[in-house]
Chains A and B, each alone.
Chain A
Amino acid sequence: MSSVIVDIRNLEREFKMGDETVKALNDVSFTINAGEFITIMGSSGSGKTTLLNILGCLDKPTKGEYFLDGTNVSKLSKTELARFRNKKLGFVFQSYNLLPRTSAIENVELPLLYNPEISAKQRKEKAMKALEAVKLTHRTHYLPSQLSGGQQQRVAIARALINDPVLILADEATGNLDSRTSYEIMMLVQELNDVQGKTIVFVTHELDIASFSKRTITLKDGKIIKDNINSNVRNARKVLEGLPLISEPSIAAK
């Protein structure tokens, strides 16, 4: 049995909307072990974004406890949460959120600028390593505007990898991409999970994308209605090979 990264117990999150109190999350409990690749599914309003915010230490639960890598996050202050995000987490967003007019490598090294323990030399090395992991070393000094959507998302993934996080959180990371590019990103994510053993939580509402993960948690009205292990994990590389070839070269060729 591998070590527990995420341990969520009886989590509740309430929002006050005027006089009414809305429970976005209601009695949610689950654990995530190191090396897992989980998708969180659910329609809009199901509470998956709230759950992701809490998992990402951006929000705190109203009730219940959340242990991330052995630390009780519910008890940390705002500043401590920021430090914690900086060291333990990696974020990948739907709209990439790269800094405009900033080169790929400068975007990638951004999290390390907020970590005083890392020297400039280490930062450059780590950034190059992260870009290598997403196979973008030949685009180091390109600006986001000079990169395709898939490439921009890979820069964002490299940024999420640079601090060696215990958990990578992806929020609809393929939402802005066409299906072919989505599969390329999923191939990369599968590779990071399989080869490098990264723990990944992928929020999506597409069943197609969820089928690449090892486990799927489905939320509805703030409750987990399904938590099942995928017996039939699809391999993104094979899916890609099965697609008819189009003019755009594949990742491997780049």
Chain B
Amino acid sequence: MKLVNLLRIAWRAIKRNKMRAFLTMLGIIIGVAAVIAMIAIGQGSRQSIQSQITGMGSNMITIRPSSNVMGGARLDVTNVQALAEPDIIALQKQPEYINAVSPSVTARGQVINGPYNWSTSLQGVAPEYLSIRSWPLQDGVSFTSQDVKRAAKVCLVGQTIITNLFPNGEDVLGKNIRFKNIPFKIIGVLGKKGENTFGQDQDDIILTPYTTVQKRILATTYYQTIFASAIDESSTDKAAAEIQQVMRVSHKLQKGTDDDFTVRTQAELISTFTSTSQILTILLAVIAGISLVVGGIGIMNIMYVSVTERTKEIGLRMSIGARGIDILMQFLIEAILISITGGLIGVALGITATKLVTLFLQWPTLVTQSSVILSFLVCFITGVFFGYYPALKASRLDPIEALRYE
């Protein structure tokens, strides 16, 4: 038996029942399209989270005090007095993997320019902060370590601040804005960063020397956060370990006691968030996979009906010389052709649906090659698996009985 003849026989049989073949395919089409669209949506959100976190500065390391228990009450991290100047000095002393360190203290409040006001955060940092966050200046200059020493009333403003305080589009450099009645001179404008992964507007910020916030606003000697950066992306873990070592020494922590601070790298953050979306992707793929199996059962169902309905045809084919294997192959190829054609249409439909989701819902999506290959492969296997039993049943028919079947 020539394969080309078998293909021809199976193709003609499908052609004779176009509508039924299409309806059979429908299950597979929907299944494959769902698998592809679901994986694309899952992968898309994963990738966008990843790129946004990387955008925050991929070798950035954050040091925060652990929430301490004081008299039975857990304190908010911002009130914990764990990070202070000795830590910065210790971290800057002969660092191996640490590139830059910047303390951070933030105060929230109303900022005023003439008739305009806006509620925002005033973040006190060191000049190195901009390089740690890989945040370029759009205009003007940054403050210097001299400014830090003097607790200078100078600031860098984010784009959102400009929009809200200077709605007329004038030049903001050199202008004064007031925060808690203290005038700050704008010496630089920060480049646009947009929203971060958590939907926070990163441009709604005013940067000023940390000493200014500590001395003039909060009257504190502690830091809320210390930002550091590793010398390169690959050594963030080593840098984090180094920081932990230095901090433990600086905090005089005994062996066996817990850290009173936490060190987090961006990589950890990425893995935390991508693992969430990984679970989402798996969940979506499983749901879609189930619909593919249902589609496969649809094929099996129709093939069984088809075998019964075409009993007489099978009898005829056997009487004119078709062997059992020929009949088996014919029905198997029919099932595979149906599932593969359905798979192809499903892939096209899945990609189209993905594009539409991106177009209308603005969801990030990513059609991966592997998801296409996977669902196509599953299709083929579905065809073989669910087509085999009906085909076997057909091939075992007795030609005399089959011919007499009405």
B321 pairs with A82, CB closer than 8 A: yes
A86 pairs with B321, CB closer than 8 A: yes
Which of chain A's residues have a CB closer than 8 A to the CB of B320? 85-86, 91, 110-111, 114, 159
Number of interface residues of A (CB under 8 A): 27
Out of B15, B316, B322, B400, which one reaches A82, CB within 8 Å? Answer: B322
Interface residues on B, range: 20 to 34
Given A113-B8, A114-B1, A116-B2, do A56 and B313 touch, yes or no (CB 8 Å)?
no
Residue of B nearest to A86 (CB): B321
Given A56-B319, A86-B320, A87-B321, do A114 and B5 touch, yes or no (CB 8 Å)?
yes
- Highest count of chain A CB atoms <10 Å: which of B315, B317, B320, B323: B320
Which of chain B's residues have a CB closer than 8 A to the CB of A79? 323-325
Which of chain B's residues have a CB closer than 8 A to the CB of A163? 321
Residue of B nearest to A84 (CB): B321
B5 pairs with A113, CB closer than 8 A: yes
Which of chain A's residues have a CB closer than 8 A to the CB of B313? 97, 99
B1-35 interface bits toward A, Cβ cutoff 8 Å, 1 = contact, 0 = none: 11001001100100111000000000000000000
A102 pairs with B16, CB closer than 8 A: yes
Residue of B nearest to A119 (CB): B2
Tell me if B128 is interfacial: C-beta within 8 Å of chain A: no
Given A97-B403, A116-B1, do A110 and B323 touch, yes or no (CB 8 Å)?
no
B93-116 interface bits toward A, Cβ cutoff 8 Å, 1 = contact, 0 = none: 000000000000000000000000
Out of A58, A83, A100, A113, which one reaches B9, CB within 8 Å? Answer: A113
Tell me if A226 is interfacial: C-beta within 8 Å of chain B: no
- In the docked arrangement, what's the CA distance between A110 and B321, Å? 10
Q: Is the interface of B mostly helix, strand, loop or mixed?
A: helix
Tell me if B188 is interfacial: C-beta within 8 Å of chain A: no
B324 pairs with A115, CB closer than 8 A: no
- In the docked arrangement, what's the CA distance between A163 and B321, Å? 11
A101 pairs with B8, CB closer than 8 A: no
Tell me if B399 is interfacial: C-beta within 8 Å of chain A: yes
A100 pairs with B322, CB closer than 8 A: no
A59 pairs with B5, CB closer than 8 A: no
Which of chain A's residues have a CB closer than 8 A to the CB of B326? 82, 114
Given A97-B316, A102-B12, A110-B317, do A82 and B323 touch, yes or no (CB 8 Å)?
yes
Which of chain B's residues have a CB closer than 8 A to the CB of A59? 400
Which of chain A's residues have a CB closer than 8 A to the CB of B315? 97
Tell me if B391 is interfacial: C-beta within 8 Å of chain A: no
- In the docked arrangement, what's the CA distance between A101 and B5, Å? 19
Which of chain A's residues have a CB closer than 8 A to the CB of B312? 97
Tell me if B344 is interfacial: C-beta within 8 Å of chain A: no
Query: Chain B nearest CB: distance from A143 CB in Å?
Result: 10
Query: Chain B nearest CB: distance from A23 CB in Å?
Result: 17
Tell me if B332 is interfacial: C-beta within 8 Å of chain A: no
- Highest count of chain A CB atoms <10 Å: which of B318, B319, B321, B326: B321
B319 pairs with A106, CB closer than 8 A: no
Interface residues of B in 245-297 (CB under 8 A from A): none
Which of chain A's residues have a CB closer than 8 A to the CB of B12? 99, 102, 106
Which of chain A's residues have a CB closer than 8 A to the CB of B321? 82-83, 85-87, 111, 114-115, 163
Given A53-B400, A58-B399, A113-B8, do A101 and B322 touch, yes or no (CB 8 Å)?
no
Given A110-B317, A113-B8, do A83 and B399 touch, yes or no (CB 8 Å)?
no
A130-161 interface bits toward B, Cβ cutoff 8 Å, 1 = contact, 0 = none: 00000000000000000000000000000100
A38-59 interface bits toward B, Cβ cutoff 8 Å, 1 = contact, 0 = none: 0000000000000001001011
A85 pairs with B319, CB closer than 8 A: yes
Which of chain B's residues have a CB closer than 8 A to the CB of A102? 12, 16
Query: Chain B nearest CB: distance from A121 CB in Å?
Result: 13
Which of chain A's residues have a CB closer than 8 A to the CB of B318? 58, 82
Which of chain A's residues have a CB closer than 8 A to the CB of B324? 78-79, 82
A58 pairs with B400, CB closer than 8 A: yes
- In the docked arrangement, what's the CA distance between A118 and B351, Å? 43
B16 pairs with A100, CB closer than 8 A: yes
Question: Can you give 15 A-B contacts (C-beta < 8 A)?
Answer: A58-B399, A59-B400, A78-B323, A86-B320, A91-B316, A93-B316, A97-B312, A97-B316, A99-B316, A100-B16, A106-B12, A113-B9, A114-B5, A114-B323, A114-B326
Known: A82-B324, A101-B16, A114-B323. 8 other contacts (CB 8 A): A58-B400, A83-B323, A91-B316, A99-B316, A102-B16, A113-B5, A114-B320, A115-B321
- Closest CB pairs A-B (n = 10): A86-B321, A82-B323, A111-B320, A101-B16, A97-B316, A114-B321, A113-B5, A85-B321, A116-B2, A58-B399
Q: Give chain A's interface residues, CB within 8 Å of chain B.
A: 53, 56, 58-59, 78-79, 82-83, 85-87, 91, 93, 97, 99-102, 106, 110-111, 113-116, 159, 163
